[in-house]
Amino acid sequence: MARWYKAGAAALAMAALSVGGAAAQESTNRVAVETAWSVFVDGNPRECWAVSAPSETVNTRDGQPVQVRRGDILLFATYRQGGSAAEVSFTGGYPFAEGSTIEVTIGSDTFQLFTDGQWGWAASPEDDARILAAMRRGQNAVLTARSARGTTTRDTFSLFGVTAATEEAERRCND
């Protein structure tokens, strides 16, 4: 399961549950809000992450818009205590098609995330660094993926606040 270990995935899942609506206001581990991005800290060893929900979501099948039920849709940059570099991940709220990838478009740059279940990750720390650098330069990130049922999803994330949020998450995990 990528470079993630189960505790990390569990912490991210808890964040996913904490980000939406009233739960985000009551969360005890949200430490900052930077425009479209929130910063969370949890665990021992400590994990710190910047996370955002999409500003727009489009679901299509055979080129036609469709209504589908999806769980939490979130884009993350996660740091671990001790000075780790950011790891970029995405959960689309549904199981991805087996063997598929997620296309990430930021400005004129395009990246691929590999999928496992409902999660997508960059393939290497170097890819994480390139994606994060593009996120910090960009205005929007568009993630296009395919569900196990054949639905194509296109989720647009605002990148306003991502630089401040990722710097805050990194700082909190390096203290």
Please answer whether residues 36 and 140 qualify as being in contact, where contact means their C-beta atoms are separated by less than 8 angstroms.
Answer: no
Q: Is 158 part of any domain?
A: yes
- Segments of the chain with pLDDT less than 50: 1-7, 9-11, 13-27
Could you give the CA distance from residue 67 to residue 76 in angstroms, rounded to a whole number? 25
Domain that holds residue 88: 6-174
Would you call 61 helix, strand, or coil by DSSP? strand
pLDDT at 116: 95
Pairing status of strand 37-42 against strand 109-116: unpaired
Please give the model's pTM, rounded to 2 decimal places: 0.86
> 1 in a domain, yes or no?
no
Per the domain annotation, does 115 fall within a domain? yes
**Which residues neighbour 91 within 8 Å (Cβ) at sequence distance 6 or greater?**
12, 16, 71, 72, 73, 74, 76, 118, 119, 120
Q: Please write the tens of the pLDDT for every residue from 94-117.
A: 999 999 999 999 999 999 999 999
Q: Work out how many domains the chain is built from and give that number.
A: 1
In this predicted structure, what is the pLDDT of residue 28? 61
pLDDT recorded at residue 84: 82
Report yes or no on 10 lying in a domain: yes
Would you say residue 112 lies in a domain? yes
d(CA 13, CA 21): 16
The domain that holds 23 is classified in CATH as 2.60.40.1880
